A and B are shown apart, each in its own frame.
Chain A
Amino acid sequence: MRIAFASGKGGAGKTTVAASLAAIWPHPCLIVDADVEAPNLHLFLHPHLEAAQSVYLTVPELDSEKCTACGDCAAMCSYKAIAKLGAGLIVFADMCHGCGGCFEVCQANALKKGKRELGSLQWGSWSLKMGADQNSDQNLNQALGQTSSQTSGKNSGKTLLMGKSRVGEAMSPPLLRAIDGALAAISVGDAASVPDILIDSPPGVSCPAMTTARMADALVLVAESTPFGTYDFKLAHAAFKKLNMPLAVVMNRAGMPGNESGDAALEKYCAAEGLPLLARLPFDLQAAEAYARGYLPLLEQSANALIWQRRFGLLYDAVQRWAGGKIGQIAEPCSAVNICASGTTGAGHA
């Protein structure tokens, strides 16, 4: 099962929701940081990262000895990565999209396959870090029946895969395709040995976010009900519904003071569009402070953490009901789990 977490707006809480769910996920799981421009999961999950593997794009390199300056390659290139300058040709490797058209048309065999670094992929295993008391990792792991092996098989325990684009690299989809390739490689074999995959998507609704969504079987949209958040969420919904994949919503920072009408409007929209609302996670200043210190709210050492563990436990159940173990055959939308109801709002000192 592959679930991607996306949002129109940055800062809606995608990373927190994906990482928190991964933390309590009772089966082996792989969490993927596909926000390659600004990967952040590792800052909260503290994985033991293996050496980074560089990812390259094949770009043309000109052998000026052989080049007859016919200009066919420049005519083929839609990205102006090859230009005819005077009597010779010049390659701007940074502008190349890797379509390979130039290699096809070069009669003189004057183009060699060179490479440009797009960024890197990094694997890591991780366990849970509880607030200040990092020794409790193992206890919590044991309680949840998980192993925290260092670098062993990517099918056991909790693993992270992070994509990170090179600073100055304009294109992220080719790096995302490398992530997709890595996921395909671990998804072979019998279903039982394949870990569940949770994917933290890039923000926005354009090519990086769409490319990422298409790696998943189902998509959870994390939405904030403020005016900015709602506008961006609707854009995201318009973009992702074209993919014809199961979509559900997690409302984050529900119950912000003064924004009651925003919450209601978002709920109404979800109901009208038939979008299952899996959870309403409340606005919680204590959680924001925990996050600012580098801890997921459910892993902080405080009474509040237990409340968040319960909330994400309920969200896990809601995801399971929604996905039914077989994400392709989603049952009718389940009703929202109102996780902020009753005395457990944990609204902190807000």
Chain B
Amino acid sequence: MREIVVISGKGGTGKTTVCAALAALASREGRNPVLCDLDVDVPDLHIIFDPHVQQEHPFVSGNTAVINENVCTQCGRCLELCQFGAVGQNGNGQFIIDALDCEGCGVCHKLCPTGAIEFPQRHCGTWYLSQTRFGSFVHAQLDPGQENSGRLVSLLKQQARQLAPTAEDSLILCDGSPGIGCPVISSLSGATLAVAVVEPTPSGRHDFERVADLCRHFRIPVSVIINKADLNNDEARAIEEYAVRQGYTLAGCLPFSPLVTEAMIRGEALTERDSPLASELEKIWGRICAAADKPARRANINSL
């Protein structure tokens, strides 16, 4: 099973656009990919995929402390214990817990002398199994403002793995989350290959270097796509050289193009219509598949 995760370090580099384009190509090749949107915070892939939802499940994770006023004796022990600043007092001097600050550690709940603190489970979002014109699709939406849960990302990946045929060449293609924190770490776990979409800007390069460090930490090989390369050809070359020096494969470069927004507005993947950009993406897809097929790469990275 190949599990390819598209990442970026920085948001707005074109991760989702690239991921949708690759999904369309994999589907056209008859690879029957399982698709997965791991940006559970602000998912966008469904805008292109137009999924028919077949299953919908609540995502419940962790707990939130709530004070039962009828039992509370105002001793203030919870305020003393909370390391997250979630306990405060209202106008009447009653202790209250701010759900947004509550980390769900349960210390106040377990140590309240009168047992006045309840600890209900937290509904954090919804996850879906859907069908799309490119294949099965696993996706989710966290409730706005809820915890950005690596656990939800792991759950989606688990579902995707269950859906994927057990065949050696079966394919899971994931749109990863931005950044280098908890959700990305979950996105990358168990991946065969990380495809980094990088912008030739100082921030694009900086964030790519950080996320590539993370991949190295988890011993996941990296393949690089430089998007909007012509915005700064010098920077694009510098990123290319850096990538090669680090032993990453270069999947290819894409120019800045109004076709990207146009396709997005039509709700299409870039590779659903012929264009120079679509041909370039086909070549890129070929190189990505080749990189994902090289199990030896993992050993190479290990030895670094």
Give the interface of A toward B (CB within 8 A).
Answer: 8-12, 15, 37-38, 40, 43-44, 76, 78-79, 97-101, 104-105, 165, 167-172, 177, 202-208, 210, 214, 226-228, 231-232, 235-236, 238-240, 242-243, 256-259, 262, 285, 288-289, 291-294
Residues from 97 to 148 in B contacting A, C-beta threshold 8 Å: 100, 103-107, 110-111, 142, 144-148
Question: Which residues of B in the span 140-177 have a Cβ within 8 Å of any Cβ on A?
Answer: 142, 144-148, 150
- A99-B142 CB under 8 A given contacts A15-B203, A40-B207, A43-B202: no
Would you call B246 an interface residue if the criterion is a C-beta within 8 Å of the partner chain's C-beta atoms?
no
Bound CA–CA A71/B44 (angstroms) = 44
Apart from the given pairs A167-B217, A258-B261, A294-B202, 19 other A-B contacts in the complex at a CB distance below 8 Å: A9-B42, A38-B10, A38-B207, A38-B210, A43-B202, A78-B106, A104-B111, A167-B213, A167-B214, A170-B185, A205-B41, A205-B42, A205-B144, A206-B142, A235-B144, A240-B145, A258-B265, A259-B261, A288-B228
Q: Is B249 an interface residue (CB 8 A)?
A: no
Partner of B181, one of A169, A232, A242, A294: A169
Q: Is the CB of A168 within 8 A of B258?
A: no
Q: Given the complex of chains A and B, what is the CA–CA distance between A285 and B261 in angstroms?
A: 14
Q: Which A residues are in CB contact (< 8 Å) with B47?
A: 227-228, 231
- Interface segment, B21-29, B79-87, B88-96, B270-278? B79-87
A99 to B107, Cβ gap below 8 A?
Answer: yes
Known: A37-B181, A40-B203. A168 touches B107 (CB 8 A): no
In whole angstroms, how far apart are the Cα atoms of A10 and B44 in the complex? 12
* Chain A residue contacts of B100, Cβ below 8 A: 210, 214, 242-243
Bits for B255-294, please: 1 = Cβ < 8 Å to A, else 0.
0101001101101000000000000000000000000000
Q: With a CB–CB cut-off of 8 A, which chain B residues contact A167?
A: 180, 210, 213-214, 217
Shortest distance between the CB of B143 and any CB in chain A (Å) = 8
The residues of A that contact B84 with a CB separation of less than 8 Å are: 99
CB pair B16–A228 under 8 Å, yes or no, is yes
Is B85 a contact of A177 with CB atoms below 8 Å?
yes
Give Cα distance in the complex from A157 to B255, angstroms: 40
CB distance from B80 to the nearest CB of A (A): 10
Q: Is A170 a contact of B181 with CB atoms below 8 Å?
A: yes
Nearest-Cβ distance from residue B21 to partner chain A, whole angstroms: 14
- In the complex, the chain B residue whose C-beta lies closest to that of A13 is B12
Contacts of A170 in B (CB 8 A): 150, 181-182, 185
Contact: B265 with A10, CB < 8 Å?
no
Least CB distance from B262 to A in Å reads: 5
Measured between C-beta atoms, what is the minimum distance from A76 to chain B in Å? Answer: 6
Looking at the assembled complex, report how far the CB atom of A106 sits from the nearest CB atom of chain B, in whole angstroms: 13
| Residues of the A chain whose Cβ atoms lie less than 8 Å from the Cβ of B111 | 101, 104-105
**Whose C-beta in chain B lies nearest to the C-beta of A15?**
B203
Chain B residues, Cβ within 8 Å of A12: 11-12
What would be 10 A-B contacts, judged by CB atoms less than 8 Å apart?
Answer: A8-B42, A9-B12, A37-B210, A78-B106, A99-B103, A206-B142, A227-B264, A236-B42, A258-B261, A293-B232
When the two chains form their complex, are residues A40 and B213 in contact, meaning their CB atoms are under 8 A apart? no
Shortest CB-to-CB span from A8 to chain B, Å, is: 5
Query: Is B252 part of the binding interface, using a Cβ–Cβ cutoff of 8 Å?
Result: no
Asked if B179 contacts A38 (CB within 8 A), the reply is: yes
Collect the chain A residues with CB atoms within 8 Å of residue B41's CB: 204-206
Complex contact B12–A168 (CB within 8 A): no
Q: Cβ of B33: which chain A residues have Cβ within 8 Å of it?
A: none
Enumerate the 7 nearest inter-chain pairs by beta-carbon distance, A residue then B residue, closest first.
A10-B11, A11-B12, A206-B148, A99-B105, A239-B144, A292-B232, A101-B107
Report whether A207 and B179 are in contact in the complex, using a CB–CB cutoff of 8 Å.
Answer: no
- Asked whether B32 is an interface residue with its Cβ less than 8 Å from the other chain, the reply is no
B residues in contact with A15, CB < 8 Å: 203
* Beta-carbon contact of B105 and A78 below 8 Å: yes
CA A262 to CA B9, docked complex, whole Å: 27
B200 within 8 A of A: yes
Q: B194-215 interface mask toward A, CB cutoff 8 Å, 1 = contact, 0 = none?
A: 0000011111001100100110
In whole angstroms, what is the CA distance A258 to B263 when docked? 10
Q: Are B203 and A204 in contact (CB under 8 A)?
A: no
In the complex the two chains form, is B181's CB within 8 Å of A289's CB? Answer: no
Q: Please give, as numbers and ranges, the residues of chain B lying within 8 Å of A259 by CB-CB distance.
A: 261, 265
